Amino acid sequence: MSIWIKNWPEEDRPREKLLSKGSSILTNAELLGGLLGSGYQAQSAVGLAKNILTSVNNDLHQLAQLSVNDLIKFKGVGHAKTINIISALELGRRQDEFNLKSNKIITCSKDVYEFMRAELMDIQYEEFWIILLKRNNEIIAKKQISKGGISGTLVDPKIVFKHALDRQASTLVLIHNHPSGNINASQTDINLTKKIKKAGDLLDISIIDHIIYTNAGYYSFVDHSLVF
Stretch among 59-63, 91-95, 139-143 having the lowest mean pLDDT: 91-95
Question: How far apart (Å, rounded) are the C-alpha atoms in residues 157 and 51?
Answer: 46
Query: Considering Cα of 186, then 151, then 214, then 114, what sign does the dihedral take?
Result: positive
Question: Average pLDDT in the 140-146 region?
Answer: 93
| Domain ranges for the chain | 5-98, 104-220
- Which CATH architecture fits 104-220? 3-Layer(aba) Sandwich (3.40)
For the purposes of burial, counting CB atoms within 10 Å of the CB of 60, is it exposed (0-12), middle (13-18) or buried (19 or more)? middle
Q: Say what percent of the chain tops pLDDT 70.
A: 90
Among 58, 63, 72, 6, smallest CA distance to 37 is for 6
Q: How many alpha carbons fall within 13 Å on the CB side of residue 224?
A: 13
What's residue 74's pLDDT? 93
Its pTM stands at 0.63
- Which CATH architecture fits 5-98? Orthogonal Bundle (1.10)
Question: Average pLDDT in the 32-60 region?
Answer: 87
CB 161 within 8 A of CB 205: yes
Stretch among 40-54, 65-79, 91-105, 166-180 having the lowest mean pLDDT: 91-105
Checking if the pLDDT of 205 tops 80, the result is: yes
Q: Say what percent of the chain tops pLDDT 90.
A: 56
Checking if the pLDDT of 2 tops 50, the result is: no
What's residue 71's pLDDT? 93
What's residue 1's pLDDT? 45
Question: How far apart (Å, rounded) are the C-alpha atoms in residues 207 and 197?
Answer: 6
Question: Average pLDDT in the 174-199 region?
Answer: 95
Q: What is the mean pLDDT of the chain?
A: 87
